[in-house]
Structure formats: C-alpha cells, structure tokens
Amino acid sequence: MTIAVHTAGPVGAAPLGSRPPGRRRTAVAGWLFLSPALLLFLVFVLGPFLAAIALSLFSWDMLTPAHFTGLDNFGKLLRDPLVYKALGNTFIFAFASVVTHLIGGFLLALGVNSLRNRVLSYFVRTSLFFPFVISWAAVALLWKYVLDPTFGIFTYYLGKIGITSPAWFIDPHWALPAIIGIDFWHTIGFTFVIMLAGLQTVPRQLIEAARSDGANSRQVLWNVTLPMMSPTIFFAAVITFIGAFQIFDPIQIITPDGGPDNSTISIVMYLYRQGFNAFQVGYASAVSLLVFAVMMIVTLLQFWGSRRWVHQA
Amino acid sequence: MEPIEGTSVPEPSTSGPHNPLNRRSALRLFGAAAAAVPIGGLAAACSSSSGGNTSSSAAGNTAASSTAGGATGSSAAGGSASAGGSSSAGASGGAGGSSSGGGSSPAPEDVSGTLVMAYLGDATQQKAFQALFDEFNKTYPKVQVKATGIAAGDWGTFASTISTQIAGGKVFDIVDVATEGQLLMSSKGVLEPLDDFIARDKAVVDDYYNDIDPHLKEWSAKYGSPDGKTYFIPGGYNTVCMYCNTDVFSQAGVDLPADTWSWDDFFAAGQQIKDKTGAFMLGIGYGFPFVDIMPWLLTNGASTLDADWKNPTLGTPEAVAAATFVKKMLDAGLSPKPGGAFDAASQYQKGKLATLGGGRWPTLDIRRLKMVDKTQIVPWPMQTKPGSPAGWDGWPIMKASQNKEAAWAFLKWIMSPDASKFYAQVGGTNVPARNSVASSSVFTDDAPKGTENLMKAITYATPIPSPARGTEVQNVITKAWQAAILGTSSVQQAFDNADSQLKPLL
C-alpha cells in the first residue's frame, strides 16, 4: 500500500495539502524528479503537438496574422495529388526498408553469431555498425560521389564489366531505389545489433533439446530461433517503420527538389516544403497530423497483428 | 524561388553539389541535383529601389519618424530631437542633417542606438559584411550594429529563417533582401515605406540614382512594391556572363569571342574543345535557374514568366528551343551528366572544364584558384538577342523596427560612393550599383579580363522572375527543365505541364 501511495504521489492523485508532511515531501520530491522529463515532454512534444492541431485550423505565413479557416487545410490535403505521391513514395520506402532491414539484419546476425573467432566477430560487428554513426549529410554526399554518373567509382567499375550505369539520382526509375540502397547501407548496422542481441537471448537449452530430438539446422531456425526471436523482430519492425516513414535527410540532400518527377519526395519532405518554402504553416501542420495519424494507425496494426505471430513469454 | 542572387554570398554550387563554390546554388537547391555548373557565389545583387517617390515633404518626414516609433527627427517636422537619441525609442534625431524633403536628417554623430540587421552570407561573406559595418561605424560611431549573417544556401532557406525568427518575436531593423524575396516581403506589409526618408534626403538619394543604371530604379518600383510606395534602396546587382578558361580555349585552338557569340559558335567550340583536350565545355544543371536556365531562355527571347510575372511562358517555341539546345549539348557530352558531385571549380582549375557561368561571385573563387590571368569573362552565347537575368539586393527598413532613424542612416550610408567602393574592395560578391564604382579600378582590379561585361549586361538584362510564391514557382520550373533536358519527357510536354502548374501560383 505504501508503495502504491508513493507511486501515485507525483501524479497528483490527492491534494498535497491533505497529506501528512512526510508524504507531501515525498510527493514534492517525486515531482521534482519527474520535472525535467515532464518539462521536455511538454515543451518539445505535447506543446508542439497541440500547436500543430491548432495551426492546422488556420492559414498562416509566419509574417502576417493567421486567419481561421476551419477544416479547409484538411480538405485541401485530400485534393492535393502531391500528397498522395509523397505518401506513396514514403510507403514504398518504408516497406522496402522494413523488409530489407529485417531480413538483412537477421541474416547478418545469424552469420556473425556463428563466428567462432572472437577478433573476427568484433571486427565484423564494428564494421557493420560503423556506417550508422556517420551523419546522414556525410553519407549522402559520399554516395553522390560514388554514384556520380560521370566520375563515380561505381559507374567506373560497372563500365569495366560492360554495364552502363544508370543516372541514379536523375532517373525517375532509379532515384528511389538508389536511396533505399543507401539507407540500407547506412542503417543496417542498427537492425543488425538488435537482431544479434535478440539472437543471443534464445535459450541454448531449447536449441540443444531440439537437436537432441533430431531437428536439423533449418528446423531449429524455423521452429526455435525464429519464434524466440519474434519479440525482437517485432520491435525492429516497429522502430524501422517509424524511422523510415520520417525519412528526410538523405532525400533532401541527394535529391533536394524531390527527384525527377517527384519520384523521391517523401511526406516529411513535402511537409517541410509547405511550411518553410511555401510558408503555408497551417497546411504543413495538417500534413504533419496526417503523418502522425498514418504512423499511429500502422503501428497499431502492427501491434494488433503481432498477437498472431509474436511469441509471448 | 530562386537563389539569391542578390545577396552577396558565396554560393554553393549552383546547381548543386557540383560546385562547392557557390552557395547560391545550393539553393538551388540545394543542390540539387543538378550538376551543374556555375560556381556560385554570391549572389547578387543589390537592389533597386524604387524609386520613386521622392515626393514627400516635410510632413512626410515626420510621418516617417513617427511611424518609426520614435525616430526623432527633425526639425522641420517639429521637433528636434536630441542628439543621440536612444535606440529603443527610435532613432535619435536631431541636429544635423539637411534635407530637402522638409525635415532634416540628424548629423551622423547624433544618430545612436542599436541596429539589428540580417543578411545572407557564409563565413567569408560575414567577414566582408563585418568590415562594411565597421566602416559604417566610422561615420556613425554611436550606432551599434548587431548583424546576423545567415549562411543559408539559398534565398528560400534564408527567407524561412528570417520568417521563423520574426514569428518568434525577433525584431529586425534591416534585412538585406534579394530580388527573389522583395515582392514577397513588401506584399506582406512588414516593410516601412521609405518615401518620406527619401524626400528628406533627396539630394543624397538623387545623387545615388543618377549614378546607377536606371533599370534598377525602374525594376524596384515595378517588382518590389505592390502599392507604388518605395520599400527598397537598391544595392549591388548580379548579371550572368561566362567565365572562360583561356588555357583550355588556347589548347583547343578555339578563339574566344571578341564580343558576342552564337549558340552554334558555342556548340562548335565545345565539340572542338572536347575533341582536342577532353575537357567539358560547361556544367549543365537545373537546380539554379539564375544560371542554369534563365540565360538560355533570355538569349532566345524567352523567359519563364511574362514581364508582369502574371503568366507562365515556358511553353513558347522560343523556350522549347532553348531547352532543346541545352539537351543537345548534354547529349553530345559537352557537359558531365547532372545528378552527381561534379566539382566545377576544381575541374575548371585543372583544365577539365572550359567555362563557368555566373555573375560577380565566381570572381572570388577565380582569385582563390589563382586563375585570374587565365580567365576571360564574355557575354553569354546568344541565339536571337543578348540576354542575362538580373538580381539585385534590396535594403528595406522593417516596419517593426524600433530605430528607423538609425536604419535610414545606414541606408543612406550604403548609397555613398565610399561605401560602394569599400564593399567592392573587401570582396563584395556583386556588381556595385554605382556605375562610377563598377567601372573603376576598385572593381576591375584583380579580376578577370572582361569583367566590365558584367556591368554592360545590366543594360540588356531581365529581372529574374520572382513572384510572391517564388519558391513554389522555382520548384515547378526546375523540375520541368530537368525533365526536358534529361529526356524523361518531351521538352514541349514538360513545359506545357509546367505552365499549367504555374498558372495557379501566380
């Protein structure tokens, strides 16, 4: 009971004045401990979120007074073909990112986990994770050089084997796949580390028991490892999707105009352009709420679907 | 919106990434993708001002002062203020000055307070601007300049940064605005009309206008004001010409054009240079319309918008012919393919690139690369007529300024021959508005042969189309140009689609 009271204290279940001095001090201390996180949440999350909701009901260019427009921004959103284009690109990118990262990360983790040589294992782990610590700006510029259609290293070696390199970032068919590939190179290390950690939590006894029952490696993987890894895979799927859906940096740097035929424009990039290039802050806020809604719905669907395949301990 | 050409800022590569040199280009977006070319540097220009209204009278002076919130002003209007007035109250006013408009300007030593300014400029430009402000303080020792150089890659980023700060409560006295942002700013009602100040210091302003190309005054009135009032004092400008690597031309046995050259001459020269030296003729891009697109259109009598910036004109046969010619050069391999990381400046220095497009700003890079003696500036090759875009700096006073008198003092000072010379000396990235300075050794020394062509170009130049929704307009135009020259759709189809998208934005 005491624990329950202490826990509830900071949340303010009862007026402070009605509590004994000791409990009040405890409650104050609780609020003090909570305050930094609470303040950050209020200022940088809840506040902007509420502001976005309010702004979405106005027309505002940042220089002149805002005008209340009701739901006009949302109506415009539904009629804006570029929103659908941006959403489509973003879903393609997110889907490709989730699939490639889960499969790639899992396979890499399996491979590294099977390495017997510790030094080699550490080297491979570090190498795989290293790109993730490089800033997106540097990665984007690096790949612009590598894939330069005239002077790029990749272009050069493709030419050596008789393949004409496409103009990666100016060909509407290749621009988005190129960015998906660059994203994979940059962020696979993070998924790999998560997968490796999950892999190492699979109880060895279960694997040994399966083997002693005559299961081969494939059967162990399919019937033991994967089910035990499912919570980790689910976690990786959720955060990879959320991260991918907010893709902005590499696209803004590599194809700042949204690519040929808007083939790379993402929904967050579109949001940015509406807010800070077109100065339609109200409309940009409406787009941001759309992004929020889509991400929430997809994440809820992922949780709903997870009950069918994620192993519950 | 297009890159800033007007400000003096080094540009990122113009079309992008190619050229680390320019900043403007970046804006271009940033780079865009494009690959392109020019180095960009700063942009350009200065403003123009409207000129106009110099009619105000003493009363006007008063009005200006009062609106300014305090500027004190002048005697005629009533009141003199004490010297050294405080800044927060507005300027101080006082003694001194003279003026024909009715009120009198305070003497420089009587103007005081803090002046909050913003301009587009990277670290290098910030040094030049700071030197300029220091020089200003020699004349106005009691004015403290708090200037913020915003290292934005393009006008759009600069504008959004300024707008965000204004929305957040920041009060600027002066914001250096390139052509691309002038109509946007003036149409939002955030600028103080300058007519009363101009009337008060008519002699100073007239002296200035008499020494600048009349186009600047005319264009400022037409394009920088939605209501006929004067909101900007013009500063320097940029036009676009071509920087030619004389070594490459010489090695290829190609003579540099004496005065003008045609598109066919240019193409033939490019092929000969490629055959003889392997060098590219130029870097073709699409992300920086000021250099990548407009010169080709204008030299064939076309443009992106009509003269009133009310109707798109990309679908005209002249515009289609311009893009078709650029595509032909790209297909012929006279340029590296856009979309990569081609570094135009370094390739130019290595003799792998024969030309660079740009205004004054590439000169700073040419100096850095020690290529001044190996470079000659020539007019852009033309098809039917000489052509160049023009962009210029505009110096306004913000309506919210708390020290309009000091702000006007700075604007008056920036119009002076001394300020113009000083800025040119410290590395300004545009052509000085004053013809007497632009044609003097201050501007032409340590610069490539043919630098005077940049000044001559203002006589036949066309203002870079910069409607209020310029950023969105630019985005449509660059995408259409990209599709046209890369062949992802036919030139005519790309431009017709662009016209239909541009119409509702104008």
Phi, then psi, of B228 in degrees rounded to 5:
85, -10
Among the listed residues A51, A50, A55, the one whose alpha carbon sits nearest the alpha carbon of residue A70: A55
Among the listed residues B182, B183, B118, B179, the one whose alpha carbon sits nearest the alpha carbon of residue B152: B118
Chain A residues inside the 8 Å CB shell of B32 = 255-257
In this structure, what token pair is assigned to residue A267? 């929904």
More confident residue, B54 or B274: B274
- Hey, is the C-beta of A166 within 8 angstroms of any chain B C-beta? no
Q: Which of B83-92, B237-246, B363-372, B410-419 has the lowest mean pLDDT?
A: B83-92
Angstrom distance (rounded) from CA A154 to CA A36: 49
Angstrom distance (rounded) from CA B143 to CA A125: 60
In the prediction, which pLDDT does B183 show?
86
Chain B residues inside the 8 Å CB shell of A148 = 336, 339-342
Q: Which of A257-271, B17-31, B376-390, B442-456 has the lowest mean pLDDT?
A: B17-31
Band the pLDDT of B36: cuts 50, 70, 90: very low
In the prediction, which pLDDT does B17 show?
31
Q: Which of A298-302, B100-104, B186-190 has the lowest mean pLDDT?
A: B100-104
Phi, then psi, of B233 in degrees rounded to 5:
-100, 125
Chain A residues inside the 8 Å CB shell of B471 = 273, 277-278
Question: Is B184 in a helix, a strand, or coil?
Answer: helix
In the prediction, which pLDDT does B71 show?
30
Asked if B99 contacts B201 with a C-beta cutoff of 8 angstroms, the reply is yes
Instruction: Say which of B32, B185, B338 has its CB closest to residue A256.
Output: B32
Band the pLDDT of B370: cuts 50, 70, 90: very high
Residue type, B295: P
In the prediction, which pLDDT does A15 show?
53
Angstrom distance (rounded) from CA A176 to CA A178: 5
pLDDT at A159 over 50: yes
User: What's the pLDDT tens digit per position in B97-152?
Assistant: 333 344 677 888 788 888 999 988 777 777 778 888 888 898 899 888 888 888 87
Band the pLDDT of A42: cuts 50, 70, 90: very high
Average pLDDT across chain B, whole number: 79
Pairing state between β B389-395 and B462-463: parallel
In the prediction, which pLDDT does B250 show?
94
The stretch B35-45 carries a mean pLDDT of: 32
Band the pLDDT of A19: cuts 50, 70, 90: low
- Hey, is the C-beta of A149 within 8 angstroms of any chain B C-beta? yes
Q: At what angle do helices B417-425 and B123-139 cross, to 10 degrees?
A: 150
Phi, then psi, of B401 in degrees rounded to 5:
-55, 140
Please indicate whether, in this complex, the C-beta atoms of B488 and A255 are within 8 angstroms of each other. Answer: no
In the prediction, which pLDDT does B163 show?
83
Please indicate whether, in this complex, the C-beta atoms of B156 and A256 are within 8 angstroms of each other. Answer: no
The 3-class SS string of B316-347 reads CHHHHHHHHHHHHHHHCCCCCCCCCCCCHHHH
Q: At what angle do helices A226-245 and A175-199 cross, to 10 degrees?
A: 140
| CA A215 vs CA A98, A107, B203: distances in Å | 30, 20, 98
Question: Token match 């940064």: residue?
Answer: B161
In the prediction, which pLDDT does B267 show?
96
Band the pLDDT of A313: cuts 50, 70, 90: low
Q: Which residues of B372-381 are buried (b: 16+ CB within 10 A; e: fewer)?
A: bebbbbbbbb
Question: Token match 């002296």: residue?
Answer: B207
Residues in chain B: 506
| Chains A & B: contacts with CB separation below 8 Å | 109
pLDDT at A46 over 70: yes
Please indicate whether, in this complex, the C-beta atoms of A144 and B340 are within 8 angstroms of each other. Answer: yes
- Hey, is the C-beta of A249 within 8 angstroms of any chain B C-beta? no
| CA B478 vs CA B44, B355, B380: distances in Å | 20, 22, 20
In the prediction, which pLDDT does B62 show?
30
Question: What residues of chain B have any CB closer than 8 angstroms to a CB in chain A?
Answer: 1, 16-17, 29-33, 156-157, 159-160, 163-164, 166-167, 185, 188-190, 287, 336-342, 469, 471-472, 475, 478-479, 482-483, 486, 488
Q: How far is B287 from chain A (nearest CA, A)?
A: 8
Angstrom distance (rounded) from CA B416 to CA B26: 32
In the prediction, which pLDDT does B59 show?
31
Question: Token match 């890894």: residue?
Answer: A229
In the prediction, which pLDDT does B339 show?
81
In this structure, what token pair is assigned to residue A31? 């609020």
Among the listed residues B232, B235, B248, B253, the one whose alpha carbon sits nearest the alpha carbon of residue B281: B248
Pairing state between β B241-245 and B355-358: antiparallel
Please indicate whether, in this complex, the C-beta atoms of B339 and A149 are within 8 angstroms of each other. Answer: yes
The pTM assigned to this predicted structure is 0.75
Question: Rg (Cα) of chain B, in Å, rounded?
Answer: 22
Q: What is the ipTM score, two decimals?
A: 0.72
Question: Is B194 in a helix, a strand, or coil?
Answer: coil
The 3-class SS string of B133-168 reads HHHHHHHCCCEEEEEEEECCCCHHHHHHHHHHHHHC
Asked if B239 contacts B461 with a C-beta cutoff of 8 angstroms, the reply is yes
pLDDT at B90 over 90: no
State the alpha helices, DSSP H only, in B370-416: 404-414
Q: Which residues pair with B400 in a beta bridge?
A: none
User: What's the pLDDT tens digit per position in A182-203?
Assistant: 999 999 999 999 999 999 889 9
The stretch A79-93 carries a mean pLDDT of: 94
Among the listed residues B364, B417, B426, the one whose alpha carbon sits nearest the alpha carbon of residue B133: B426
